[in-house]
Structure 1
Amino acid sequence: MALIVQKYGGTSVGSVERIQAVAERVQRAVNNGDSVVVVVSAMSGETNRLIGMAKEIQAEPTPRELDTLVATGEQVTIALLSMALQARGQDARSYTGAQVRILTDSTHTKARIQSIDTDTIRGDLDAGRVVVVAGFQGVDEHGQITTLGRGGSDTSAVALAAALKADECQIYTDVDGVYTTDPRVVPKARRLDRITFEEMLEMASLGSKVLQIRSVEFAGKYNVPLRVLSSFQDGPGTLITLEEDGVEEPVISGIAFHKDEAQLTIKGVPDSPGIAYKILGPIGEANIEVDMILQNIGADDTTDFTFTVHRNDFDKALDLMRKTADELGAREVSGNHNIVKISLVGVGMRSHAGIASKMFRVLAEEKINIRMIATSEIKISVVIDDKYLELAVRALHDAFELDTPEVSLS
């Protein structure tokens, strides 16, 4: 008998009919002999509806009251799912984050979990009940309702699985697993049977929306096996685990891309100690996150400095760079928001040479110019013009034979 934590997102519980379908799936797991804890989100669109009402009353809603408001969304779902299970003859009990005592810090709207009291849950499981817990929420030491931020239900599920030492944490979504790349761009993209936490973190940070980064970090830290499954169709999904010694990992597991990139360049800056801080200091102070950085030293003791930011921050960052250029006596400032970042991800890169050169060759053959390059131990990223996104991803997917389990370097 296994202890399973299942998490269902907003689309999976978006109607009474969908909640009935979730209850049926949970019942099957119980009939197979598993003990089940279910974590649910609010019904699809409910959180946005509640936030919208709050903003009609306060332009900037008070964080404490906003948490109290939006936490009600999950409370509806846990009660309805418990009723659906009881109607099937399955004993079930619902709990809010405060009732389970998912203890968090006091940072309203983006709290972090500190501990979970599992005694009540274990008592219910021992009595043969299904335990249904509200995701996305907890309570601080003063008894105040807190929420964990967008995607917090994934984090709730992983944290419960870690605290209960569950055999597996199953994340049910509207997709049936993690793919080698976005199937909307490459129709023959392949569902991965397994992927490492490290690879999944890279994929999530690079724009893959399958899982929230925080939940993957949490699962990797506490070694909670994660499985991504579809709540709309049966299948094995994708298992996310630690890298296993002795297992031959594929060289490339997937291709991720990030469309919301913008590039800024400041040219002819004096090449002197501290120049990077003088350029990026104002950017950081404006709470703008910088992604990739490239610095070129010229023969005239000046440097050209290029970096990327989120596209939403482009105009603000460009204004700051123009002020910095005036202060530093730079020659020119330019910007480009028509770019994308494409990345190859795979733990197999550690033991295989030639991945970067093959990637560059494939792009060259398609006459795609590379604007920036960044590498890490398991990732190679390039910035290119956004008009070449689909061509580049498809060419790389073919070249690294990601539509088949065996990956060739030839």
Structure 2
Amino acid sequence: MPLLVMKFGGTSVADLARIENAAKKVQAEVARGYDVIVIVSAMSGETNRMVGYVEGTSKLYDAREYDAVVSSGENVTAGLMALRLQEMDIPARSWQGWQVPINTTSAHGSARFIDIPRANIDAKFAEGFKVAVVAGFQGLSPEGRITTLGRGGSDTTAVAFAAAFGAERCDIYTDVDGIYTTDPRIASKARKLDKIAFEEMLELASLGAKVLQTRSVELAMRYKVRLRVLSSFEDTDENSGTLVCDEDEIMESKVVSGVAYSRDEAKMTLVTVEDRPGVASAIFGPLADAGVNVDMIVQNISEKNYGTHSGAVTDMTFSVPVNQVARAQKAMEEARAAGIIMYDELISDTDVAKVSVVGIGMRSQVGVAARMFKALAAENINIKVIATSEIKISVLIDRRYMELAVQALHDCFELDKA
């Protein structure tokens, strides 16, 4: 039988009525002739409740026990989904991560897949079972302990199963009906895309679009797993939602496919850093050791160059998530105290946002940056930092202009038109 993987997120299985609704979608695929692996998240809000219990019990908790507790929500959903399917006369059973087994590393809270042996589930399909309902977000460490994959890990579980079992497609059911050119809450003209390339989706996910978890898109791109994002709350067919696929499946791409944004950005500048070989390593090594996620980096000649300093100096500007500013400040202060790096001042601006345009069409088009900067200038929006790659251009701007920038860029590249 052809195989399909279907993943249902927390809002799609938030209560018994929604589990029944999801089960009907599984039933429809079984009726089309598929064997189905269903990956389920915990009911909406359940994981947060479990995290609260752990933190209320132990401030310095054992990460292994944390994973044992917070993974329990998916187990409940898997069992309930299997029961509902059985009530529909569909041969189904639930699987917890250790029963498959989903083998992962020992990094509790952020484990990564090692492998997913097929034998146990294949044996049940051979016995006549039509559906395997697997608890997402969890796995089994080499030491035999339950692990979790980090927030959004059920998306990654679904893609990993699709890759391991050679599934025809991996359908991600959520509370939106596909991937849009930008957030419809900000730009009313946002348009649902029929198809988007893996690379574009990966950039959009990493730049702030929250429909798919970044790791799941990375895995799908590596193993060429065709993903489809669609709504749990609408009637769907083979053409519903947005297909995330290889670039070769898209006949002709627009220059820009989408506009992404992130509110929670901060710009940090080290003023008058000594300009010498190895200075970048001296800065970003301690930041990496402190777990700070640095994104955009710009090096400038300092206004104080050759002033009171004996040699040339430079200013180093970089962006970090706003919730990591204190950690970055501490890492830089400790590095200066240890003599690893010298600077006069560390300036932090926590009132910025990142806005990005993404499109594989940029590879063959010139003038995209000029159009983008002209559109922002027309709205009197000042650019603080610029970063580019082959298929994206990102800028840091004042946060108060973020929504205006998204709307202006969406109009500039005519993303409302097919």
Match of 1:311 among 298, 315, 322: 322
Q: TM-score normalised to the size of structure 2?
A: 0.92
**Post-superposition offset of 1:83:** 1.0
1:21 equivalent to 2:34? Answer no
In the alignment, what sits opposite 1:362? Answer: 375
Structure 1 letter corresponding to 2:301:
I
**1:291 is the counterpart of 2:280:** no
Letter in 2 for 1:275: V
Counterpart Cα distance in 2 of 1:320 and 1:365: 39
For the residues of structure 2 that align with 1:228 and 1:331, how far apart are their CA atoms?
Answer: 49
Counterpart of 2:65 in structure 1 is 65
Give the match's secondary structure for 1:84: helix
1:333 alignment partner, one of 325, 346, 349: 346
Q: How does 1:136-175 map to 2 (within 5 A)?
A: 136-175=137-176
Paired with 2:336 and 2:50, the residues of 1 have a C-alpha distance of: 44
- Residue identity matched to 1:293: I
Select between 142-151 and 343-352 the one with higher mean Cα deviation. Answer: 142-151
Q: Aligned to 1:290, what secondary structure does the other structure show?
A: coil
- Residue 408 (structure 1) aligns with: none
CA deviation after TM superposition for structure 1 residue 230, in Å = 0.8
SS in 2 for 1:201: helix
**Which residue does the alignment assign to 1:348?**
361
* Mapped partners of 1:54, 1:227: distance in 2: 35
Change (3 A) 1:282 1:130: closer
The alpha-carbon deviation at position 307 of structure 1 amounts to: 1.0
* TM-score, normalised via structure 1 length: 0.93
Are the equivalent residues in 2 in contact too, given 1:346–1:379 (CA < 8 A)?
A: yes
Amino acid at match of 1:169: C
- Alpha-carbon deviation of 1:277? 2.9
Task: Report the residue type matching 1:282 in the other structure.
Answer: P
Instruction: Give, in angstroms, the shift of residue 170 of structure 1.
Output: 0.5
| 1:262 correspondence with 2:272 | no
Contact 2:197 2:250 in 1 (8 A): no
Alignment of 1:150-299 (within 5 A): 150-235=151-236, 236-244=240-248, 247-298=251-302
Two-structure CA RMSD over aligned residues (Å): 1.9
Contact 1:325 1:331 in 2 (8 A): no
Distance 1:148 1:79, change over 3 A: same
SS state at 2:170 partner: strand
In the TM superposition, residue 88 of structure 1 has moved relative to its aligned partner by 1.3
**Percent identity, aligned pairs only?**
52
1:99-138 Cα deviation digits (max 9, x unpaired)? 1111112222222111112123223334152111111112
Q: Counterpart of 2:93?
A: 93
- SS of the residue aligned with 1:12? helix
**Preserved CA contact (<8 Å) 2:118 2:164:** yes
Kept after mapping to 2: 8 A contact 1:340/1:384:
yes
Are the equivalent residues in 2 in contact too, given 1:252–1:400 (CA < 8 A)? yes
Q: Does 1:41 align with 2:54?
A: no
| Aligned residues of 1:124 and 1:130 also touching (Cα < 8 A) | no
Which AA in structure 2 matches 1:198?
Answer: E
Distance of 1:45 and 1:247 partners within structure 2: 41
Distance of aligned partners of 1:264 and 1:87 in 2 relative to their CA distance in 1, 3 Å threshold = same
Tell me if the contact between 1:325 and 1:333 (Cα under 8 Å) persists in the aligned partners.
no
Instruction: Give unpaired runs (5+ residues) of structure 2.
Output: 307-311
Aligned to 2:385: 372
Deviations 1:266-290 (A, max 9, x none): 2333322222233334333322221
Structure 1 CA distance, aligned partners of 2:316 and 2:204? 27
